[in-house]
Structure 1
Amino acid sequence: MKNPFKAVNVGKNAEVVYTHNALEAGQGLHTTSDEAALQVQGSVEVPKPYHVFGLNLYPYRHPRVQTAMLGFVIFLTVGMYHVITAMGGAGQQTATLADGANITLYTVFTVFCFVSPACLNYFGMRATLCFGAVGYAAYASSLWCYNRTGNEGFVYFGGAWNGLSAAFLWTADRTGISAYATEDKKGLYVSIFWTVFQVGTVVGSAIPVGQNWNAGVGNKSTVSDGTYIGLFILMITGACVALLLYPMTKMVREDGTRVTLPAQLTWLEQLRASWQVLKDHKYIMWMWPYAWAINYYSIYQNNRYNSPVFTVRGRALNTLMSGIAQIFSAWVMLIMTDKLPLNRRHRAYVGLAFVWLLVNGVNIGGYFAMVETKFGLKESQKLDVYTPGYGPKAFLYVMYGFMDGCYNTFGLWFIGALSNDRRELSVYFSMFTFWQSACTVCAYALDFRGVSHQFMFGSSWGFLAFGPLCLLPIIKWYMKETNIIKAADLALDGQDMATDPTATAVKETAFVKE
């Protein structure tokens, strides 16, 4: 199938250091050394770590550092947003206004997922991420304003702006972490990203815990202005951090392959090319049921469990502990996706089985809690951190967080295992995000209309149990063991290519859009 993202010869400005592997592979593959460097290992010099007191400190442009920075952007934006939503009703006394704003948010989010890959490929990583981060601050400021003035219209506007931004933020960030990773370290890069992201949730959760710890049961279950102000400042900082990222077109993976070449297509051509990728890889549709379940269950967990069962102090502490559990979940999944002595397909099967068993095990426990949940309780009747019986109910919420982390990180690793091409990955992740956000619209709409908590729980469990099963056909028929060419596997003019990574470096130049 013809690649719609045809690379062209590079121009001038940014220096890229190639080894003989790239030059000779270009001849062997009848293409340019730039195109060969996208798929032949050892084609480009890799940034070397600094050795300080026996420790390896990676330089700023190393892919691990850049992945951590991508996580830090999400730390400061989505992590803070999750702090708001995890407290139930965006920290307000009821969830009605927050549900309406989130319906607006995810509706806009869903629509703009279609154009986000083209925008990422045209405008670049830094601009796309920065734009994507600003909307989160707008949403936090709208809730702060509502606390002071009761202006509901601004909350809906903040939700819409957040939805527009989120489509670009998530497509860019998820594409980056998968594109930067080598095939044998996809799980590691996902774990690095997810850990930094969830540290944001933990740090962000400390704000409402500190602000509301002395609130007890006398604050009508709303959070203070200081909570929203603190989160707003952190979110704005996230937009600034996005501008500090190293240009994606200069990035080199740890195996010496380039992440991407400079954009050579117009925005409309990028849009058509994204559609062509989807047509050429129809099997990705099997991933959609898995994506559909993500976020759907969080509405039940936050608005139908955390909010009605616990005081605001209890909810804030639950969110803090759930974030810690999510950090742990990423490294548990790393063992299955990267470390097991199995080939890629078999690791995928093991990870999928673990996720499916975990989902069902946690929801069995959740069923008994759902049966006991009572709504309409006064704040003094809810479970507080010092109330007998708080521990088991809080532990269930922590396990919901652990399940969420495992489900998400496996999904990120799985998509990353399907391709190394930044452009293909951006389309895959935009579709993943589209179904994720579309489902969230449905969940918030159901919650807004007051659908029974039994239905909300049962449907979320059903989606979670069904989604992983749909990945089995992709693993069996479409997942490859590798998408990379090793220099030693190419024979040029009857001789094997030189694979010495210390081969004489040849400097070429590349035009960079960022």
Structure 2
Amino acid sequence: MADEKPTSPAATAPETTAPETTAHETTAHETTAHENGVAEPIPRPAGWMYKGFKIGKHELWYASPIVQLLLVAMVCFLCPGMFNAISGLGAGGQVDATAQNNASTALYSTFAVVAFFSGTIANKLGVKLTLAFGGIGYCIYAASFLSYSHNQNNGFVIFAGAFLGVCAGLLWTAQGTIMMSYPPEEKKGRYISWFWIIFNLGAVIGSLIPLGQNINSTAGPVTDGTYIGFIVLMLCGAILALFLCNAGSVQREDGSHVILMKNPSWKTEIMGLVETLTQSPWVVLLFPMFFASNVFYTYQSNDMNAAQFNTRTRALNNTLYWSSQIFGAVITGYALDFGPARRSVRAKGSFVVLFILTFVIWGGGYAWQKQQVTREVVEDADHPHVGVDWTDGGEKYIAPMWLFIFYGFFDATWQTCIYWYMGALSNSGRKAANLAGFYKGIQSAGAAVFWRMDGLKKPYDTMFGATWGLLGGALVFAAPVIWLKIKDTVSIEDDLKFSDETITDVAPTKDKVALGLEHTKEEEV
């Protein structure tokens, strides 16, 4: 429930004489007298402040959206970024993809369940703790493959995958909350692109580790040093998450705050999960797009990269894939914030571009795939398959090299657009957490299905066709939401329907002035 507002200065007057304070020197527990004679509570009580750093007049920069976004981007640089580098090698850096298929099936199965409810957890515990706990699973996952290289302990790899699913569900929901609800509306596209640049730099740098260590290797698993490097970096990411502020401390340049719940409880947050769907039932039309957003990794990493190329070329392809994502994120993010065009127009334009890219890039992928050897040939133990090396040149390597680059560009474009669409539907941190949870949960369900299909040894052509078909179908379902439901702006009043806060708590300074409310700032704590 929202805190009741006192109706007169006397309602909050202390019984004993207190030191005189001005409107700009009040503490977080006092009220401020306004020109109209009505006492109003100061927007953020001290309990919302980040306890590790003082958030006063000299320290507000640390609690700004851009600093917090950069911090969470660095956490993802070190944790999921390094995970992507391992996955992009194909087979988790091993020769046989069985261990990674089993781990990935377990990972995305638990990920799907936990992420669906992780918005509730993030709203209750705060993004800082949620993100920090989420980073732990990545270290254990990398360690399981180091162990597997020596003892083939498949059980440990499966456990690590399942545990990572729990952790990743929490981490990505906290990340999505920050990326969608912290920026002002006119900058959401570029904030998403900045995050995607830093996050994918993690995968690029991570992919350079195995490339450098396996530069002369054309067969066998990657080296122990590769896995040890990943473990150390992932651990640093989990620790870095503890230096974040929670959402209640964040203040934008215009003086506005992220819309949350003043008094979150498990009951209110579980109800909020239901309200997200009941208030906007049409959001389910985006679910196929969520489902399709990670399925292509299975084909690209295992059925293309691991199947058709040797060890060092897989590492090079991996580097090119994640490098191209940086360009995709920059171009897409800034295009989505293109000022002269209204947001609803930009949404429609981005959908058209996505549709064209889906059929042009994946059409090129089909032309390449139909010429490749089958799974039976690749996995024939009696006649070892010799993968393509980067020195082969011509159509044998140059064509798929460019295909990897365009696949990476497409991935960044698809993911950036989804986050931007969700961010355009609401500026509420509470609602963003639930949408991010839905997104990552359904995304992971799709990934689990496709990793299982690969584990069942489905033909490479089948894996490709199912991936491409799902992407195209998802766009058809999403079209009505993108075309009809994305508005040029979302009013504060609409977002406050999903919160127990008031306009005094979250509005920009100019709106408070327009309402006759005196703007105050929090005293240093």
TM-score of the two chains, using structure 2 as the length reference? 0.83
Aligned partners of 1:274 and 1:423 also within 8 Å = no
Task: Give, in whole Å, the separation in 1 of the partners of 2:321 and 2:36.
Answer: 48
Q: Would you say 1:367 and 2:366 are equivalent positions?
A: yes
1:3 aligns to what? none
SS of the residue aligned with 2:442?
helix
One-letter amino acid of the structure 1 residue matched with residue 388 of structure 2: L
Aligned to 1:400: 407
Once the two structures are superposed, what CA deviation does each residue of 1:179-222 show, in whole Å capped at 9, x if it has no partner? 1110000101101110110110111011101111122x2x32x1
Query: How many aligned residue pairs are there?
Result: 471
SS at match of 1:381: coil
Question: Which residue of structure 2 aligns with residue 439 of structure 1?
Answer: 446
Q: Shift of the alpha carbon at 1:406? A: 0.3
Quickly say closer, same or farther: Cα 1:7–1:355, change in 2 above 3 A.
farther
The aligned residue for residue 86 of structure 2 is 84
Please tell me whether the aligned partners of residues 116 and 442 of structure 2 are also in contact (alpha carbons under 8 angstroms): no
Matched with 1:121 is: 123
Pair 382,265 (structure 1): closer, same or farther in 2 beyond 3 Å: same
Cα distance change on mapping 1:497 and 1:299 into 2, 3 Å: closer
Matches for 1:58-457 after TM superposition, within 5 Å: 59-215=61-217, 217=218, 219-220=219-220, 222-261=221-260, 263-374=262-373, 375=375, 376-377=377-378, 381-388=386-393, 389-457=396-464
Give CA deviations for 1:116-152 in whole Å, capped at 9, x if unaligned.
1111011111100011110011110011111122211
**1:384 to partner: Cα distance:** 1.3
Residues 401-460 of structure 1 show CA distances to partners (whole Å, capped at 9, x for unaligned) of 110000000101110010001111111111111110111111011101111111111111
- CA displacement at 1:250 relative to structure 2: 0.6
1:8 corresponds in structure 2 to: 3
The answer to whether the 8 A contact 1:295-1:440 is kept is: yes
User: Would the alpha carbon gap of residues 173 and 16 (structure 1) be closer, same or farther in structure 2, given more than 3 Å must change?
Assistant: farther
On the 8 A contact 1:26/1:32 being kept in 2, the answer is no
**Residues 1:71 and 1:410: Cα distance change in structure 2 (over 3 Å):** same
Extract unaligned runs of 5+ from structure 1: 1-5, 36-45, 51-57, 491-495
Aligned pair partner of 2:487 in 480, 495, 506: 480
Cα distance between partner residues in 1 of 2:37 and 2:472:
46
Letter in 2 for 1:152: N
Q: 1:242 to 1:497 in 2, by over 3 A?
A: closer
Letter of the structure 2 residue corresponding to residue 91 of structure 1: G
Structure 1 residues 339, 8: CA separation in 2 closer, same or farther (over 3 Å shift)?
Answer: same
Return the letter of the residue paired with 2:250.
M
Note the residue ranges of structure 2 that are not aligned, 5 or more in a row. Answer: 7-25, 45-54, 494-502, 504-509
Over 3 Å counting, the alpha-carbon distance change for 1:287 and 1:10 in structure 2 is: farther
Q: Which amino acid aligns with 2:245?
A: Y
The aligned residue for residue 43 of structure 1 is none
**How far did 1:510 drift?**
12
Distance 2:183 2:103 in 1: 36
What is the CA-CA distance between 1:331 and the residue it aligns to?
A: 1.2
Distance (whole Å) between structure 1 residues aligned to residue 262 and residue 487 of structure 2 = 27
Pick closer, same or farther for the CA change 1:263–1:140 going to 2, 3 Å: farther
CA contact (8 A) 1:17 1:508 kept: no
Query: Structure 2: which amino acid aligns with 1:438?
Result: A
State the percentage of identical aligned residues: 32
Task: In structure 1, give the amino acid aligned to 2:263.
Answer: Q
The whole-number CA distance in structure 2 between the counterparts of 1:249 and 1:211 is 44
Contact 1:16/1:510 (<8 A) preserved:
no
- Does the CA-based 8 Å contact 2:361-2:406 persist in structure 1? yes
Q: What secondary structure sits across from 1:265 in the alignment?
A: coil
More divergent stretch after superposition (465-474 vs 80-89): 465-474
Residue 493 of structure 1 corresponds to none
- Aligned pair in 2 of structure 1 residues 257, 198: CA closer, same or farther (>3 Å)? same
CA 1:134–1:498 in 2, change beyond 3 Å: closer, same or farther?
Answer: closer
SS class of match (2:389):
coil
Whether contact under 8 Å (2:193, 2:334) holds in the other structure is: no
For the Cα contact (< 8 Å) 1:34–1:261, is it kept in 2? no
Are residues 412 and 497 of structure 1, via their aligned partners in 2, closer, same or farther at CA, if it must alter by over 3 Å?
closer
| Cα shift at 1:272 | 2.2
- Aligned with 1:450: secondary structure? coil
What is the CA distance between 1:268 and its match in structure 2?
3.2
Q: C-alpha separation between the residues in 2 aligned to 1:276 and 1:454?
A: 41
Distance in 1 (alpha carbons) for counterparts of 2:403 and 2:426:
36
Cα contact 1:311–1:384 (8 A) shared by 2: yes
Cα distance change on mapping 1:270 and 1:343 into 2, 3 Å: same
Q: Please report how far the alpha carbon of residue 297 of structure 1 lies from its aligned counterpart in structure 2 after TM superposition.
A: 1.1
C-alpha spacing 1:157/1:401, structure 2 compared with 1 (3 Å): same
Runs (4+) of structure 1 moved beyond 4 Å? 14-18, 22-27, 30-33, 46-50, 377-380, 496-500, 508-511
Deviation, structure 1 residue 394 = 1.2
Q: Secondary structure at the match of 2:388?
A: coil
Letter of the structure 1 residue corresponding to residue 170 of structure 2 = F
Larger radius of gyration: 2
C-alpha displacement at 1:383, in angstroms? 1.2
Is the 2:358–2:471 Cα contact (8 Å) retained in structure 1?
yes
2:520 maps to which of 492, 496, 506: 506
The residue type equivalent to 1:292 in the other structure is: F
Across the aligned residues of Structure 1 and Structure 2, the Cα RMSD in angstroms comes to 3.2
